[in-house]
Structure 1
Amino acid sequence: MATEIRVPALGESVTEATIGRWIKKEGDAVSVDEPLVELETDKVSVEVPAPAAGVLASIAAAEGDTVEVNALLGAIDAAAAGQTASSAPAAAAPTPAASGGAEIEVRVPAAGESVTEADIGEWLKGEGDVVALDEPIVSLETDKAAMDVPAPAAGVLKKLAAKVGDTVEVGALLAVIETGAGATANGAAATMASEQPSPNAATQSAPAGADALSPAPRRVVAERGLDASTIAGTGKDGRITKGDALAANASVPAQSRAPAAPRETGPREERVRMSRLRQTIARRLKEAQDSAAMLTTFNDVDMTAVIELRKQYKELFDKKHGIKLGFMSFFVKAAVHALKEVPDVNAEIDGTDIIYKNHYDIGVAVGSDKGLVVPVVRDADQKSMADIELEIAELGRRARSGDLKIEEMQGGTFTISNGGIYGSLLSTPILNQPQSGILGMHRIEERPIARNGEVIIRPMMYLALSYDHRIVDGKGAVTFLVRMKENLEDPQRLLLDL
């Protein structure tokens, strides 16, 4: 029975990839989840694992070929799995330990589409420690989120295979847990000295010469006349991907400049390496500034009606739905109404095309100890205010504990950021690409305003809409904020869909 190997989903807006190299060849025995082929996109380098154990019966695409998502890569003869079982054991199968127990490997789990590696953030357990089933033993940091890896079995943590700060790929060995009769803290501690990982085990780098490149980046280097030794690789083991080569070509003048040496820190200073999440936040914010024609427009809103409505129904709402009625559900609902009237703000630019979204997936920016993350409330237009409040509360809790999944932070169409909870009076939020708009909420402050010839004191909030001027005109941006203002100052409009 043949099992097909196909190009997996490669992330938003990525529709094709180049065959970088085949890790296995026809006739090779393979085990489940063993890497078979390396694909390169303009953004990342990814490995495609074997969907079944058996023999690689055929290869349908050669190195250097461009293949689309879901295209056929090859086939595995699963019927031959039994004949090759001895030569291709399952990667995570327990192995007998010398002390009479069994050894269970702990490996880097899959962390979502386009995520191929992570950094060791913190070891929560040390060698020789007793661990329980599903107890977190190590915290990993990807460029999108932080996550804890639980123990796959109860026993003693016999060996750590990576150090804090090491970069490890999906499927890489993290640790070994000894179970059974030999799983004692003293027995494991006796092996610590001899089994410490090599300090340089995870820092090997690939040769930078053009001959060491896979076909796709080699072709870009040759066609553009680039010097491969000056290109920083972001692929596996530091290999140069097609995207790296294209990026280097786009910045040839900067290529000739020698990188500035890091300055020496003083006696009252401390140098700390940025986490992968913080590096990604920094890169994406700068990319947003560099690529979008970003502009911000402002308005203010009288929050009296919303505050009175919350005060009137807060006890009944909490009693019925088990959640407090907050401000965010009003803003999400008001934003959805405004987005329906000004669809450009809910759209995105893809090359020379505009993609209009007929769904309303609202990202809600949440600050955590590890940085800003934006979980998404899906189909907000179809949810009640209670549904929105419950979902935002749960997403916020999991964001702060580092338990969010990658897919829960992808695919938003518009973002709301509430700097007011930190006391911000006014700000210009930066776009969350590829979105075309982001709304900034701010603190509520009593201010004197003029109404009907009289000066009165009202609880006011400034609203800021940052938008991509390439797609959103000034009229559309102002109209969006005016609709937000109208819906919040008269919340009944939300109920009547006005």
Structure 2
Amino acid sequence: MSNLFEMRVPQLGESTRSVKVLKLLKSEGDRVSADESLLEVETNKAVMEIPAPISGVVNQILVDAGATIDVGEIIVRIDGQNPVHVLGDNFGQKRKGEQRVPRVSNDPAWRQENLPPLQVSLIKNMVHSKRDIVQVSIESQVNWSYIDDLKKAYRKSSADKISSLGLFTWACGEAMRSFDKFRARLIDDARIEINESAHIGIAKSCGDDVLLTPVITLSGGPNHFEVQSKLKALLSDANASSAYHSVSISDMSAFDTIRGTPIVVSPSVATLFIGTPYWGFDRDGSKVRISNLILSFDHRVINGVYAANFLSRIKRNIASLRRRECGAA
């Protein structure tokens, strides 16, 4: 037995009163699974996908791409049955014949609180990405003395300061100019589309366990000072919001985190992790400070050799800049 379910625009933030519809991901008559994305919207803080609350068939779509709609407004009618949702290893699923119910404790030692709406949206995107993306990770090391040398050189010779994140963002953007699949997104199982610019998301903590990924767009090969200037403005902008990016950077170099496996969240195709520098040994056996660079990528779009060459290009860009600016071998 089926029932017609009216899906409304959810409350996506305390200050959010309306959203703009960027893209419809389903058409009338399409089958949809619970937690499968139905449409992509933009709030004043982020771009996010709104998932279907039930499984069934899309009966009616009441909005158009480009429209601005209010929170609480009906957007889709779905002909289906309402599943039981559980947040856990089998998020949004239940075993056949089993009635799953949320685990709620009556123990006064436990307290309940709602997750921030942006975090809820990110969780859903992560779940979808884990299901869809074929994620592979590779690791390399960069000689951190190259970063230290560049920062020292600029402190002495220029009023402009540059950060390690600025240098890696520039190096990544330069590499993306040559490796166009890192500027791509998957359309379907047989097609990708490639953007002419590099869209790089910078992971940024906003407190209350909320993570945004504001985006820096690089076109035409800007130099490292121009990238640093854009990056500084982006990270200091309290209104900067998440948006589309094909590559994201998670810079943990200042957080005493040597190694971590970054995840790729659709529609991105790669995430670069920068670890905290530590003492190690160079290829010639000399003791140096090194940092782990870990690149996770979507194997549906990018193969291992292509990813390894991309990561190597980022390192070479840093080394070449050091030779040019510091006169070092």
Q: TM-score, normalised by structure 2?
A: 0.72
Alignment of 1:10 with 2:6, yes or no, is no
Q: Hey, what does 1:391 align to over in structure 2? A: 230
Q: Hey, what does 1:280 align to over in structure 2? A: 121
Cα distance in structure 2, aligned partners of 1:116 and 1:315: 53
Q: Deviations over 1:301-359 (max 9, x none)?
A: 11222311210222443x2x4xx311122111211222223222221111231111211
Contact kept in structure 1, 2:94 and 2:100, CA below 8 Å = no
Structure 2 residue matching 1:300: 3-state secondary structure: strand
Q: Which has the larger radius of gyration?
A: 1
The letter of the residue matching 1:412 is H
CA 373–380 in structure 1, closer or farther in 2 if over 3 Å, else same: farther
Q: Hey, what does 2:78 align to over in structure 1? A: 217
The letter of the residue matching 1:362 is I
- 1:99-110 matches, within 5 Å, as none
Structure 2 residue matching 1:280: 3-state secondary structure: helix
Q: Deviations over 1:271-301 (max 9, x none)?
A: 2221212211222222221110001000001
Q: CA deviation at 1:425?
A: 0.5
Q: CA deviation at 1:67?
A: 8.4
Cα distance in structure 2, aligned partners of 1:425 and 1:378: 28
- 1:390-429 matches, within 5 Å, as 390-398=229-237, 403-405=238-240, 408-429=241-262
Q: Hey, what does 1:174 align to over in structure 2? A: none
Contact kept in structure 2, 1:303 and 1:489, CA below 8 Å = no
Taking only aligned residues, the RMSD between alpha carbons, in angstroms, comes to 3.5
Q: How many residues align?
A: 276
- 1:430-449 matches, within 5 Å, as 430-449=263-282
**Structure 1: any 5+ residue segments left out of the alignment?**
1-7, 19-40, 47-62, 71-112, 118-168, 171-205, 207-212, 222-227, 234-250
Q: CA deviation at 1:377?
A: 0.7
Cα distance in structure 2, aligned partners of 1:385 and 1:44: 33
Q: Hey, what does 2:201 align to over in structure 1? A: 363
Cα distance in structure 2, aligned partners of 1:404 and 1:346: 25
Contact kept in structure 2, 1:348 and 1:436, CA below 8 Å = yes
Contact kept in structure 1, 2:84 and 2:100, CA below 8 Å = no
The letter of the residue matching 2:321 is P
Structure 2 residue matching 1:421: 3-state secondary structure: coil
CA 465–65 in structure 1, closer or farther in 2 if over 3 Å, else same: closer
Q: Hey, what does 2:109 align to over in structure 1? A: 268
Q: CA deviation at 1:45?
A: 9.4
- 1:270-309 matches, within 5 Å, as 270-309=111-150
Q: Hey, what does 2:49 align to over in structure 1? A: none
Alignment of 1:467 with 2:305, yes or no, is no
Cα distance in structure 1, aligned partners of 2:69 and 2:157: 44
Contact kept in structure 2, 1:429 and 1:466, CA below 8 Å = yes
Cα distance in structure 2, aligned partners of 1:68 and 1:493: 53
Q: Deviations over 1:361-388 (max 9, x none)?
A: 2111112213111000122554332332
Q: Hey, what does 1:179 align to over in structure 2? A: none
The letter of the residue matching 2:187 is D
- 1:107-146 matches, within 5 Å, as 116-117=70-71
Q: Hey, what does 1:104 align to over in structure 2? A: none
The letter of the residue matching 1:416 is I
- 1:22-41 matches, within 5 Å, as none
Cα distance in structure 2, aligned partners of 1:490 and 1:386: 16
The letter of the residue matching 1:414 is V
Cα distance in structure 1, aligned partners of 2:112 and 2:61: 44
User: Which of 330, 343, 354 is matched with 2:192 structurally?
Assistant: 354
Cα distance in structure 1, aligned partners of 2:215 and 2:94: 39
Contact kept in structure 1, 2:25 and 2:39, CA below 8 Å = no
Cα distance in structure 2, aligned partners of 1:16 and 1:261: 29
Structure 2 residue matching 1:378: 3-state secondary structure: strand
Q: CA deviation at 1:421?
A: 2.0
Cα distance in structure 1, aligned partners of 2:276 and 2:68: 37
Alignment of 1:344 with 2:188, yes or no, is no
Contact kept in structure 2, 1:360 and 1:381, CA below 8 Å = no
Q: Hey, what does 1:58 align to over in structure 2? A: none
Structure 2 residue matching 1:314: 3-state secondary structure: helix
Structure 2 residue matching 1:339: 3-state secondary structure: helix
Q: TM-score, normalised by structure 1?
A: 0.49
Cα distance in structure 2, aligned partners of 1:332 and 1:114: 34
- 1:227-238 matches, within 5 Å, as 228=81, 230-231=82-83
Contact kept in structure 1, 2:244 and 2:267, CA below 8 Å = no
Q: CA deviation at 1:410?
A: 1.0
Q: Hey, what does 2:39 align to over in structure 1? A: 43
Contact kept in structure 1, 2:199 and 2:218, CA below 8 Å = yes
CA 114–472 in structure 1, closer or farther in 2 if over 3 Å, else same: farther
Structure 1 residue matching 2:289: 3-state secondary structure: strand
Give aligned-pair identity as a percent.
15
Contact kept in structure 2, 1:10 and 1:69, CA below 8 Å = yes
Q: CA deviation at 1:479?
A: 0.6
Contact kept in structure 1, 2:25 and 2:38, CA below 8 Å = no
Q: CA deviation at 1:269?
A: 2.9
**Structure 2: any 5+ residue segments left out of the alignment?**
1-18, 29-36, 43-58, 86-91
Q: CA deviation at 1:433?
A: 1.5
